[in-house]
Structure 1
Amino acid sequence: MTKIKTDICVIGAGSGGLSVAAGAAQMGADVVLLEGHKMGGDCLNYGCVPSKALLAAAHKAHAMRQDRFGVTGGPVTVDYAAAKDHVADAIATIEPNDSQDRFEGLGVRVIRAYGRFTGHATMEAGEHEITARRFVVATGSGPLVPPIPGLGDVPYLTNETIFDLRETPRHLIVIGAGPIGLEMAQAHRRLGCAVTVLEGAKAFGKDDPELAAIALERMRAEGIEIVEGAMVASVSGGAGEVTVTTKDSARFTGSHLLLAVGRKVNTNGLDLHKAGVEIEHGAVKVDASLRSPTNRRIYAIGDAAGGMQFTHVANYHAGLIVRQILMGLPARARTDHIPWVTYTDPELAQVGLTEEAARAVHGDRLAVVRFPYAENDRAIATGQTDGVIKVMVVKGRPVGASIVGAQAGELIQTWALALANRLKMSAIAAMVVPYPTLGEINKRAAGAYFGPKLFDSPMVKRIVRLVQRF
C-alpha cells in the first residue's frame, strides 16, 4: 500500500470538493482529491446540468406549439432521443472543466477510488493510505429511495437514471412534487408524455404557497395531473405498466415511475466513526465553521454538512473552507442570504424568509411589498405577465424575497446581494435599471415600499407646499 502525506485530503469531486481542491492547490497547498465515481458529481452528471438541458428542449417544443404574437403554432415532432443527445452534449461540453486531467494540471493528486477513514488522521482509498493535516468531506447526496411496499419488484427511475432513458415514456408517474419532481414533470409533459405527479403533502411545500399556486396553475393548465395529499401505500406491476396505490385506495397507472421524494447524504462507507466524527441525520455534524466538533481535522461542506442541498451552497462552503484552512482566518456559514430556484415555467425563486416565516419572526414590524409582472412593460411586450414579486421588509431592510415568473432565478440575485450585504431598500430604489427590462420589477418593488411613505404622508405634503412658496 502506497503511503501519502498531504496538507488537505478532499473526499468527493463534486462541485464543492472541486472548488476546495482547485483553490487550495493554486494557493500552494498539497492536495489529494478522492473520487470513486464520476468527476463533477451529481450536479454535472445527474442534476443541475442535465435537467436544465432537458428543460431547454422542452421549452422549445412548448413554444413551437403556441399561437402567439401573430405566429401560428402547430404540431411538433419531438425526438426524445435527440433531446437526450442535447443533454449529453451539454454535459460533455462542461466536463473538461471538472476533469481529472485539469485538476492534475493544477497540481492536485487525484485518486479514483472511494475512501474510508481508518483513524483520526488517516484514510484508505484503493491501494493508498493517506495521512492529512485536514480532511474535507464533500461527498454530496443521492436520491432517496423510500421503503414503499412492492418497489423492489417494480422498475423505477431516479434523477441518476432518467437521463439515460432513450424512449419517450407514454405516461410518467412522478412520486414527489418538489423541485426535481416538478421540473421533470413539466419537461416530460412538454416533450409529449402524459404525466401524473403524486405528493404526500403540498406541492412546492418549501415555497411561498401563494406564489407556488401560480406556478402550479400553469402546470396543470398544460395537462400535468398534480395530486396533493396522495400518500403512497404501494406499487405494483412491471415494465411498461406500473400502478401506484395511495393510502386512500386511489390507483394511478403509467408506463414509467420516477422517484423524486428527497435526497440522502452520501456518508455510508466512510467509516466516520473510526475518525471520531459524529453523524446527525445522516450528515456530518459540524459547527458554524463547518468543522467537526469531535475531530478538528475534519470539515464537511455542501450536502455532507446537512442543511440546504444546493450546488451553490457547496461552492459557498468551499470558499469558507479555503479561507479557514489556507489563510487561517475565521469564517462562519450563514443561510439567511442563500437563494434557491425551481426552473419550471414560470420559475419560482426564494431568498431569505418567506412571508409566513417572516411574520412568525417579526410580527407587526414586518412590511410586505408586492409588484406584479402584469405592470412591467417588458413582461407585457413579451407576453410574460404571469408572476409577482413579494419582498419582506423590517425597518427598511429586506429579510426575504419571493418571486414567481419569467427569469425569477435572475431577478432573485438582486435580493440575494441585498441580504448578503445587509443593504437597505433605499439601495435598491436608488439603482438605475435599463428600460424596458424585467429587472425593473425589483426596483418597482422597492418603490412600492417607499411610495406610501412619500405620497400618503401629510408631513411630506406640507413640506412640498412650503417649498413651493420660494
Structure 2
Amino acid sequence: MKADVTIIGGGPAGVEAALSAAEWSKNVILVSNHPIGELKSAYTNMILNHEKDILKYQTFWNPLFEQRKKEWEISLSAKLIEKGIHIVKGTAEFIDQETIRVFSDDEHLIQSNKVIVATGSHPVFPNKMQPDGNRIFSYQNIYKLTFIPSTMLVVGDGPIGYEMVNFFSNLGIKVTWLFPQQPFELYHENIQNYLLDFYIDKGVNIIKGPYVTSVVSKGGACCSKKRRW
C-alpha cells in the first residue's frame, strides 16, 4: 500500500488530522488499533452524566452506552470514507522513516511520503493491576459494573482519579483513595489542597504513600499488596 500521508491513531486528533490531510491529498491512510474516534474522557462522561440513573437502578450498566459508542464510531468512519480516507485497523510500527508495518488479522506494509503520529496518551497498568472488569476497573470498563459496591479503592491522582473519587462518594460509596506522595503536577498546590480537604469533608479516606504497584483479592475484597517507588 502507498500513501501520500499516513496518520497513526484513530482518536479525535487522528481523525481531525486525516480530515485535514484529505483536503490536500486524495491518498490518505488512517491506522488505528482502537475504535475510530474513541475518546478517553467519553467513558467517564457517560458515567458522570447518568448518576441519577445509576442510583435509581443500582447499576452502572446502561445499554445506551454501547449504542452511543457504536453510533459515534460509525458516523466518524463514514465521514472519513466519504472524504476518500482509507482506514486500516491494527497496530503500527515503523520499519524505516517511510515504511510502516501494521499488525492485524492480516499484515500490511504502507509506504508513505509523510507520517503523522497522533496516538495520544494511554494509562499504563502494572502487570499486577490489570483491569479485569471484575474487581479491578479502569475508565474503559467501569460502566460494566452491574451493582453499586459498598466500598471502593481508588488508585491514581490524575483528572479521572479526582472525578471518580467525587463520583463514587456522591453514590454513597465508602471511598479510600491511595494518593501518591509525589502527586501529579497538573494542579496548583493550593487547588490540590482545597480539593483534598473537600473530599475529606465528604468522608473520603485519603492515604498518602508510595505509588501502588500491585493489587490482590483478599477475603472477597481488593487491597494494595505493595506500595513502593
Decide: shared fold, TM above 0.5. Answer: yes
Match of 2:69 among 91, 104, 107: 91
Do the aligned partners of 1:78 and 1:191 also contact (CA within 8 Å) in 2? no
> What are the equivalent positions in structure 2 for 1:70-469 lying under 5 Å apart?
77-81=55-59, 84-85=62-63, 87-88=65-66, 90-92=68-70, 94-98=72-76, 100-125=77-102, 126-146=106-126, 151=129, 155-201=135-181, 205-229=185-209, 231-232=211-212, 235-238=215-218, 240-245=220-225
* CA 210–119 in structure 1, closer or farther in 2 if over 3 Å, else same: closer
Deviations 1:4-34 (A, max 9, x none): 2210011111111111101111333420111
* CA 178–115 in structure 1, closer or farther in 2 if over 3 Å, else same: closer
Match of 1:7 among 4, 7, 23: 4
Q: Distance in 1 between matches of 2:45 and 2:209?
A: 28
* CA 204–213 in structure 1, closer or farther in 2 if over 3 Å, else same: farther
Shift of residue 230 of structure 1? Answer: 5.2
Do the aligned partners of 1:179 and 1:204 also contact (CA within 8 Å) in 2? no
Match of 1:39 among 9, 32, 36: 36
Q: Distance in 2 between matches of 1:18 and 1:147?
A: 31
Q: Distance in 1 between matches of 2:57 and 2:43?
A: 17
Deviations 1:431-450 (A, max 9, x none): xxxxxxxxxxxxxxxxxxxx
Match of 2:44 in 1: 51
* Greater fraction strand: 2
Structure 2 unpaired stretches of 5+: none
Do the aligned partners of 1:80 and 1:191 also contact (CA within 8 Å) in 2? no
Shift of residue 116 of structure 1? Answer: 2.6
Deviations 1:52-74 (A, max 9, x none): 2222233x58xxxxxxxxxxxxx
Deviations 1:210-230 (A, max 9, x none): 122222222222222222235
Q: Distance in 2 between matches of 1:179 and 1:120?
A: 35
Q: Secondary structure at the match of 1:110?
A: strand
Deviations 1:376-397 (A, max 9, x none): xxxxxxxxxxxxxxxxxxxxxx
* CA 86–213 in structure 1, closer or farther in 2 if over 3 Å, else same: farther
* Greater fraction helix: 1
Q: Distance in 2 between matches of 1:86 and 1:113?
A: 27
Shift of residue 247 of structure 1? Answer: 5.1
* CA 111–231 in structure 1, closer or farther in 2 if over 3 Å, else same: closer
* CA 19–241 in structure 1, closer or farther in 2 if over 3 Å, else same: same
Q: Secondary structure at the match of 2:138?
A: coil
- Matched to 1:37, the amino acid is H
Shift of residue 236 of structure 1? Answer: 2.9
Deviations 1:191-218 (A, max 9, x none): 2322111012255643111122222222
Match of 2:17 among 7, 17, 20: 20
Q: CA RMSD in A?
A: 3.0
Q: Distance in 2 between matches of 1:224 and 1:31?
A: 50
Shift of residue 168 of structure 1? Answer: 2.1
TM-score (normalised: structure 1): 0.42
- Matched to 2:153, the amino acid is I
Q: Distance in 2 between matches of 1:107 and 1:233?
A: 45
- Matched to 1:104, the amino acid is I
Q: Distance in 1 between matches of 2:11 and 2:213?
A: 35
Do the aligned partners of 1:204 and 1:212 also contact (CA within 8 Å) in 2? no
Q: Secondary structure at the match of 2:167?
A: helix
Q: Secondary structure at the match of 2:195?
A: helix
Shift of residue 94 of structure 1? Answer: 3.6
Higher relative contact order (CA 8 A, sep 6+): 2
Deviations 1:83-125 (A, max 9, x none): 6445445534543443x22211111011122223233311233
Do the aligned partners of 2:5 and 2:28 also contact (CA within 8 Å) in 1? yes
Do the aligned partners of 1:122 and 1:129 also contact (CA within 8 Å) in 2? yes
Structure 1 unpaired stretches of 5+: 62-75, 249-470
